[in-house]
Amino acid sequence: MVVITFPDGSKKEFDSEISCYDIAKSISDGLANAAVAAEVDGKIVDLSRKIFADSKLRILTERDKESLDVLRHSSAHVMAEAIMKLFPNAKFGIGPSIDNGFYYDIDDINVSDSDLVKVEEEIKNIIKEKQEFVREDISKKDALELFKNQPFKLELINELDDGTISIYKCGNFVDLCRGPHLRHSGKIKAIKLQKVTGAYWRGDAKNKMLTRIYGTAFFAKKDLDDYVTLMEEAEKRDHRKLGKRFDIFSLHEEGPGFPFFHPNGMVIWNELMDFWREEHRRARYVEVKTPIMLNRKLWETSGHWFNYKENMYTTQIDGEDFAIKPMNCPGGMILYKDSMHSYRELPMRVGEIGLVHRHELSGALAGLFRVRTFHQDDAHIFMTTDQIKDEILGVLNLADRFYKKFGLDYHLELSTRPEKSVGTDEQWEAATNGLKTALDATGKEYQINEGDGAFYGPKIDLHIKDAIGRTWQCGTIQLDMSLPERFDLTYEGSDGNKHRPVMIHRVIYGSIERFLGVLIEHYAAKFPLWLSPVQVIVLPVSEKHRDYAQKVYDELFDSGLRVELDESDDTISKKVRNAQLRYVNYILVVGDKEQANNSVNVRTRDNEIKGEISVKDFIADKVVEYKNRI
């Protein structure tokens, strides 16, 4: 007798072992047909998996978020089978599902984006055949024999312990895999291959470069169509293309992962910094600056030398090891420890726009989103345990003001104690409760990620949503119970004894380079007035209006607005068009009438005609818009 307990608490008895699919069918044919996979005692499994003992069961349909991963993982196998048919000598690496789809790494094939149509046609044939996904558990010896002509699979098998190894078959394609998978290939309703790129085997630049084919899959064609539309819009907003088109930043082979910021980029950068400093001053932060390079002893104390050295750039000075900082925190610890502190000084809110360097693999570099040098808007807050809630709430409110200024929505996630951690149970309970209490006080919903915190403390992550619905993890708030201990940080309490402060690491922008990349894509380079590199442009209708145009330009410039004067010989319509293509916020045309009235004729980059207005009134209005960051 096997007793199955369902999510609603109801139970059903079966005479003997039974598959998850048959249990679904015993409830209704509709559920069995809609089923994608099953969750048995918390583990996602194939519908074909048999249950031999009393268990908790949840049947997953396409409405469950876990099902999309099953669909995409299965789609990766189907794509691999199609490739195997077209390229019989292909050597397969790995083919996982990822956030937005799936990929497979393959060797010994010559494929370009134009060949993906052929692969998709073969995929359609496999889908029509409704080929079953069949799981088998075989010995390591048999696995080595089965995959003897697949060197990448052999490498993976040899790293496994002796014992059974799970494989999946779909048609003629066999793969090492834990699963789970769909019942058959016919369950794949909407699939699209996206692009071909290169990727080092196992992400290591020392290994062979393989061909990586990306694809995505959805349960409904409409969802796929919506996603394709989103990707097309994202392509138009690609910050690398817009960064080049609008002269914001560039990347060069002389410094892979080290971006160059142009004058336009520095305008945006400095506006972001001015806003950061104003808001942090209001929130009673002080700003510091710590060295970019510090000696080995510091990095040994912080733990980085032993745990993070492969990501650090190191050198020797006077025979002593030094490292360029990959993060600002240890320097902040030295500053705190430079003097004695009393409980009356706490909380101490100390910010730093720190330049850090981390060695990223060349294959992982991606415009401003993944670089080797970047600035973090770090802050370290030193406090007592009973100040945790208010300080966390203060950071959350500060982040809220920042993101609202850019029109960015966001959601919150709380990550709790992982399996390996430092600190006592009491410290973790106090820290986690402090974060929870602050989150509850915001009135906002948040997700809890059990066991996903840092080893040194729980954390809150802020995931922002841009104009086309994509999410980016930027802000984070982390409680740290490790560094104060490592650096022996103390303060004198009201009892006259030394106590260990609680410390928060937090960023709002995160990496400023990355945040700027997000903003470029969020606004599609159509920045609000306060961020625009060129806010206003003056266009004289003809040669005889140039002196007046120069006068208008001078008044705008003196008011603090960023203005240009188009002195080209182009027609006025072409000048307007050029200004609109450059996304200049306000375009001022001056001719006979405007010259006579000491006015300008205003239109926007979106060709909204504002009409004639006095120079004085235009300046007054735009200065307010600029200074208030509207």
**Is the peptide bond prior to 180 cis by the omega test (within 30 degrees of 0)?**
yes
Number of H helices, E strands in the chain: 20, 35
CB 288 within 8 A of CB 350: yes
CA gap 212, 202 in Å, rounded: 12
CA gap 62, 39 in Å, rounded: 13
What does the block give as tokens for 391? 């300080």
Q: Which amino acid is at 482?
A: S
What does the block give as tokens for 539? 């266009």
Q: What angle do CA 63, 67, 70 make, to 5 degrees?
A: 160
CA 533 to chain centre: 26
What does the block give as tokens for 349? 């809110």
CA gap 201, 213 in Å, rounded: 13
CA gap 581, 501 in Å, rounded: 54
DSSP class of 496 = S
486 Cβ neighbours under 8 A, 6+ residues apart: 301, 302, 303, 333
> Of 211, 148, 196, 204, which Cα lies nearest the Cα of 174?
148
Catalytic residues: 329, 358, 376, 378, 380, 459, 505
What does the block give as tokens for 425? 């149970």
CB 579 within 8 A of CB 284: no
Neighbouring C-beta atoms of residue 332, cutoff 10 Å? 24
CA gap 455, 431 in Å, rounded: 13
What does the block give as tokens for 226? 């919506």
Cα end-to-end distance, the chain, whole Å: 69
Helix (H, G, I), strand (E, B) or coil at 15: coil
